[in-house]
Structure 1
Amino acid sequence: MNTILPQSRISQILKPVDAKEDSRREKRVRQGFWRTLKRAAAYIPFMEEVVAAYYAALDSKTPLRVRGTLLAALAYFVMPIDVIPDFLVVFGFTDDLAVLTAAIAAIQGHIRPEHRRAAKAALKDLDRQS
């Protein structure tokens, strides 16, 4: 049981939506993912997995249902206002992490080696930029 965000709320966030909403989520994720990741990096113990999930979500070979779940979690992650606003830094990303953890656990087998390789490379580049 997640005390930050009830399972029912996580399920509601991750529920399937129509193609139009998935498209909106994808746009939101593409626009805000890296900026949010940089702000949250110190608070994400499984950052490489989150970045691999990002690449899986944008991969056209990933099944639509899986892409939808990941896009929902990632869109929640990049939203500046959610259950616990992200500007509260230490606590602000805990609800995001709960949603990301649930999504990644639900689709684990769909994050492929190429997504993990892309994540490692992207994080190396991010380190070099810092």
Structure 2
Amino acid sequence: MTTTDEQLKEEMKKTSKHFSDDKFWGKLKKYAKKAGASVVYAVLLLYFTLQKPEVPTKAKATIIGALGYFILPLDLIPDVMVGVGYTDDLGALGVALFQVAIYIDTDIKQKAKEKLIEWFGEGVDTSDIDSKIN
């Protein structure tokens, strides 16, 4: 069954109750240190890709789904579990990154890295994720 752009847009409307800029930045700022640089980098890459007008609706739906899952307070593995709480989030984010990697350009990576440096300081290593989406 083929999904039309209209169906995707309708689905995006439904999931938008779990994703908004305010919810996104609120959770990210609150849990950035606990989630770690890799999770935050993946989230930022998806967020900045979502902002690009030329990204197709289907790719945006994938991104919103992954970011919505990240924002949801109830996860498969609760985020409060030390050491493993963000494992499921990173898995969902990784799948989304792989699916939309073609739209992640140097500008998006730079914006994400600048935000990482702001929150984590210089020397944050993004090579693991960068190598997987190139």
User: Which of 115, 126, 132 pairs up with 1:122?
Assistant: 115
Cα deviation, 1:17-55, whole Å, max 9, x if unaligned, reads: 62322433431434423333332016x3x6434321221
Q: 1:91: which partner in 2?
A: 84
Aligned length: 111
1:96/1:49 CA distance change after superposition, 3 Å? closer
1:101/1:32 CA distance change after superposition, 3 Å? same
Q: Whose helix proportion is higher, 1 or 2?
A: 1
Letter in 1 for 2:24: V
1:35/1:67 CA distance change after superposition, 3 Å? farther
Q: 2:34: which partner in 1?
A: 39
Give the Cα–Cα distance (whole angstroms) in 1 for the partners of residues 26 and 59 of structure 2. 20
| 2:69 equivalent to 1:76 | yes
User: Which of 98, 108, 112 pairs up with 2:101?
Assistant: 108
Give the Cα–Cα distance (whole angstroms) in 1 for the partners of residues 52 and 25 of structure 2. 12
Cα RMSD over matched residues? 2.2
1:80/1:87 CA distance change after superposition, 3 Å? same
Q: 2:54: which partner in 1?
A: 61
In structure 1, list runs of 5 or more residues that go unmatched: 1-15
Moved more, 112-121 or 27-36: 27-36
In structure 2, list runs of 5 or more residues that go unmatched: 1-7, 122-134
Shift of 1:58: 3.0
Give the Cα–Cα distance (whole angstroms) in 2 for the partners of residues 68 and 102 of structure 1. 13
1:123/1:22 CA distance change after superposition, 3 Å? same
2:18, 2:71 within 8 Å by CA — same for their partners in 1?
A: no
Give the Cα–Cα distance (whole angstroms) in 1 for the partners of residues 12 and 35 of structure 2. 29
TM-score by length of 1: 0.71
